[in-house]
Amino acid sequence: MKKRKKLTHPRPPVTARPSVTTSPTGTLDLTEKQEPDCPPLGLESLRVSDNQLYASSSQSFGLGPHRGRLNIQSGLEDGDLFDGAWCAEQQDAEPWLQVDAGHLTRFSGIITQGRNSIWRYDWVTSYKVQFSNDSRTWWGSKNRSSGMDAVFPANSDPETPVLNLLPEPQVARFIRLLPQTWLQGGASCLRAEILACPVSDPNGLFPEVPVLGSSDSLDFRHHDYKAMRKLMKQVNEQCPNITRIYSIGRSHQGLKLYVMEMSDQPGEHELGEPEVRYVAGMHGNEALGRELLLLLMQFLCREFLRGDPRVTRLLTETRIHLLPSMNPDGYETAFRRGSELVGWAEGRWNHQGIDLNHNFADLNTPLWQAEDEGLVPDTVPNHHLPLPTYYTLPNATVAPETWAVIKWMQRIPFVLSANLHGGELVVSYPFDMTRTPWAARELTPTPDEAVFRWLSTVYAGSNRAMQDPDRRPCHSQDFSLYGSIINGADWHTVPGSMNDFSYLHTNCFEVTVELSCDKFPHENELPQEWENNKDALLTYLEQVRMGIAGVVRDKDTELGIADAVISVDGINHDVTTAWGGDYWRLLTPGDYMVTALQFPPHQDSQTETSRAAGSWGQGAPGPSEAAGTAEGTEELTPSAEEPQRLGQAGPVQNWRRGHWVGRAGQGVGERSLGSLKLFGASASLPVVSMSQILFPDLILQTLGYSQLTSGKIVRKEDPTWVLPEPGLGRATHFINPSASAAGDTWCYGTLCKHLLSANHARSQG
């Protein structure tokens, strides 16, 4: 089988300006002054629909004009319905690709690429450009000196974007690209983006283009490193009582990895208050997540000052950490290229050439090997797996950015996280690595499959773009068939992912959100992308209170117990308590038996690290306090006050145990934390007081139910009550998915329907 040739890093983008062109008599006159470059028309972002693209011919449907979009990626099998470019038929002597802007437009430039393929190299090396207002009468760009048609230089490889600016913008509705020459032995294939500004039609013959916007007055632009620091400082100065900036480390080039903390008590872990994080910019060229987090911190600050009840409650009951740029070196590379010229991969890696999402320790393999040998959980724990020895060696290939995030994870008792990426529209959840070695893709669920499906569906169900019934696939896979969620390993295997590492090394549940088809959208699209994601970002944060939470205390002293293990019957994955004894266990509604175990200290220092998740307790210092500005931040350093970790379990008689049997959904009217007390080994093991059950605020505020029972909902007044879907503004029936393939996931509205359709699709293969 032919393998893909290894491609070198792309060359810098090419900007070419041919000789001046003129318009024929009768067209709209243009001034002699060169207009600023226009934003993209929207081929890459899908604002231009498939029915606006035409071609003289196509080799196949999968190579049709709808595939002629900048940066579109081919499917796993070239020649299917999802190939990587528009390609004209071999016998087509005068090939062309045509775009209907739908309204009067000022065209200012064209960006082209060749064909994305694992089998072939095809690209256009030169082309002409024509314009029309009615698709019948056409005029072209002319060489001023010769009066001949201008010929634009195009590509010399399949992936590097090449920009050609028109010497004078042309006002028309239609634009055609006419390939003149292409790679010898290849075909006339290209992907394109058109730079175009909408203009008003004085005669009213063409429809006006809708303006992309947002009602929020925020800083909608791309921020390089200096601009990002300045913006974070401004937010901190505007909201000093709820924000704090700190750094968790530095990139390979020495740029700091800044985090914005937002809480009513910044710098302090409050007993019972869960910690949640958003991470963006792991791949430097996937810029949308970075800007969304900068927008989110502005929005939370502004709405808190306005007294918005949702934001106020979120900031008073949750400690939020926002890392907008995990890979600042890669972003600076991408930023210098520009949003349309960075291509598909440049800036993805850090300065060492490391893909950070494959750089975390592989804890999946040792866990699965131990499971196959029957060693889990009695001999090998099912949680907080230690770092492998090879990973900590001085010559290990571990990026400084990766180490910084690992130490961050170990120091803060994160409960929930999302890793923001770009290039698709889907939420993927662990495991990301296939269990079968070398399998390209394979459904590989975690023991918390129900929780991860719920978390993924909550974000996808609140995201406007993911819920658009008319949207087309970004590239080759239609994730809308599965509710815009997928198991990561069932999509493509990712060894060493941050999601899997977070789940197996800490208490934190993390998903990956692919935010947009366009990895680096133009600034004029940021307001619309913010509106697409704003409610999803807020709703996902609220899920940190889904499940059970409480405090594990010593029966005699009433002090909290750190590192007690919280186990749920039937789920082969445990979590541990933080320093103050507080814990959070994400669960879907249902009946559970929960057990807490305290293991005695162990003198073997190597074993002590095996359970170290790292956590802060009540009053424990957080990351180093700073002057409150980006310039004054310090690195996250270990605290001398952090207690010693508890080691591996000793003899059974030395365990201390407490447990309760309860139903998720009881006690919803209370807000205080319950206590789960541990008794000595010589004491009896009765059922002790039930730990407080907490659900997302969205459900608490809306339902008013008395209890949840298996398979049905109990409400005194009406058994068929309804509740709003998050962010969608309409009510729908609460549906019990007991008939689904999973059978253990509660959901509501279209979210439930998505789960059901995903399960049905999975059962059908």
Distance CA 43, CA 70 (A): 7
Pick the closest to residue 380 from 392, 390, 391, 366 (CA basis). 366
Pick the closest to residue 628 from 238, 240, 226, 231 (CA basis). 240
Any idea which residue has 């991969």 for tokens? 345
Distance CA 374, CA 753 (A): 37
DSSP state letters, 239-281: STTTEEEEEEEE-TTS-EEEEEEESSSTTB--TT--EEEEEE-
- What does DSSP say about strands 14-16 and 124-132: parallel, antiparallel, or unpaired? unpaired
Please report, as a single letter, which amino acid is at residue 81. Answer: L
- What does DSSP say about strands 14-16 and 162-182: parallel, antiparallel, or unpaired? parallel
* 360 DSSP β-pair partners: none
Is 647 within 8 Å of 609 (Cβ atoms)? no
Residues 367, 373, 377, 379, Cα dihedral to 10°: -100
Is 149 within 8 Å of 141 (Cβ atoms)? yes
- Non-local CB neighbours of 312 within 8 Å, separated by 6+ positions: 304
Say whether 514 is catalytic: yes
Radius of gyration of the chain (CA): 28
- Non-local CB neighbours of 480 within 8 Å, separated by 6+ positions: 466, 469, 471, 473
Is 325 within 8 Å of 290 (Cβ atoms)? yes
* 113 DSSP β-pair partners: 191
Q: Chain-centre distance of CA 542, in angstroms? A: 17
Please report, as a single letter, which amino acid is at residue 181. Answer: T
Is 1 within 8 Å of 157 (Cβ atoms)? no
- Non-local CB neighbours of 147 within 8 Å, separated by 6+ positions: none
Helix (H, G, I), strand (E, B) or coil at 761: helix
Q: Judging by beta carbons within 10 Å of its beta carbon (0-12, 13-18, 19+), is residue 757 exposed, middle or buried?
A: middle
- Non-local CB neighbours of 334 within 8 Å, separated by 6+ positions: 284, 285, 287, 342, 346, 347, 520
Distance CA 749, CA 260 (A): 34
Distance CA 522, CA 212 (A): 12
Distance CA 516, CA 53 (A): 21
Helix (H, G, I), strand (E, B) or coil at 686: coil
Pick the closest to residue 380 from 566, 577, 564, 574 (CA basis). 574
Cβ neighbours of 537 (radius 10 Å): 22
Whole-number Cα distances in Å, 424 to 80, 151, 277, 431, 480 = 19, 34, 21, 18, 11
Distance CA 710, CA 179 (A): 64
Give the relative orientation of helices 364-372 and 498-505 as an angle to the nearest 10 degrees: 60
Q: Which of 286, 291, 317, 514 is catalytic?
A: 514
Longest dimension (CA), the chain: 100
Is 582 within 8 Å of 271 (Cβ atoms)? yes
Is 318 within 8 Å of 274 (Cβ atoms)? yes
Distance CA 208, CA 230 (A): 37
Is 738 within 8 Å of 708 (Cβ atoms)? no
Pick the closest to residue 29 from 175, 168, 164 (CA basis). 168
Catalytic residue numbers, as ranges = 514
